[in-house]
Amino acid sequence: MFVTGLVLAAGGSHRLGQPKQLLPYGDTTLLDAVLRAARECAFDQLLVTLGGAAEEVRETVDLSATTVVLNPSYGTGCSSSIVSALEVVDNRTVGIVLMLGDQPGVRVRSARSVIQSEAPIAVCRYRDGIGHPFWFARSVFPELANLHGDKGVWKLIESGRHAVVEVPVDTEVPADVDTWDDYESLLAQGIER
């Protein structure tokens, strides 16, 4: 089964005032930590979308074993990154696993679990709610290609147009970083290996 991993890392980090992808996290950066986990998933294709601070990210982050997708429309929301990435998804891909570039706490086994769901859409059901990584089968790609804004994926999941499998994960939803408070909270939780 040919699977594509997609890491969304094109955001402009306006609330932080600097590229969150490059914030220190353990011995690396936030985005490096996410990509390290994504590589451990052994996806057949690994895409990472860049937009805001793309050149700085290219100079700093280890992008080996990835295909970089530049999203010039990153300011319109993460849906534009998904649309951009779909243009380069391998024709053999049966589905994509969607991960966030500012969410280093996602575990490899969570990604593997959503893939094994065999559903059109699968999400992780954490103890405190729904979270990434998400799985989208190829049958859902036409709708992904028409998403708009920052919450387009969530609207698709909640639309009822596709069966959505909730894969149980016995932890809290992994923290993502949108503000300095989020970042400080993430660091206070400690670095998971």
Q: How confident is the model at residue 176, as a pLDDT? A: 86
Residue 30 falls in which region: left (phi positive, over 0), alpha (psi -120 to 50) or beta: alpha
Q: How many CB atoms lie within 10 A of CB 168?
A: 9
Q: How far is CA 6 from the centre of its chain?
A: 6
How many Å apart are CA 76 and CA 83, to the nearest integer?
12
58 close to 50: Cβ distance less than 8 angstroms: yes
pTM above 0.85, yes or no: yes
- Check: CB of residue 123 under 8 Å from CB of residue 131: yes
CA angle 139, 114, 93 (to 5 degrees): 40
CA 183, CA 180: separation in Å to the nearest integer?
5
Q: Tell me the per-residue pLDDT of 64-81, one tens digit each, with 9 for 90 and over.
A: 999 999 988 877 778 889
| Total number of domains constituting the chain | 1
Q: Label the pairing between strands 45-50 and 3-9.
A: parallel
Range of the domain at 45: 3-189
Local mean pLDDT, 10-residue blocks, the chain (193 residues):
95 75 92 96 96 90 95 82 95 96 92 92 95 96 87 88 93 88 87 56
Cα–Cα dist 14/9, whole Å: 13
Report the CATH number at residue 129.
3.90.550.10
Q: CA separation (Å) from 86 to 2, 5, 26, 82, 83? A: 15, 11, 32, 6, 5
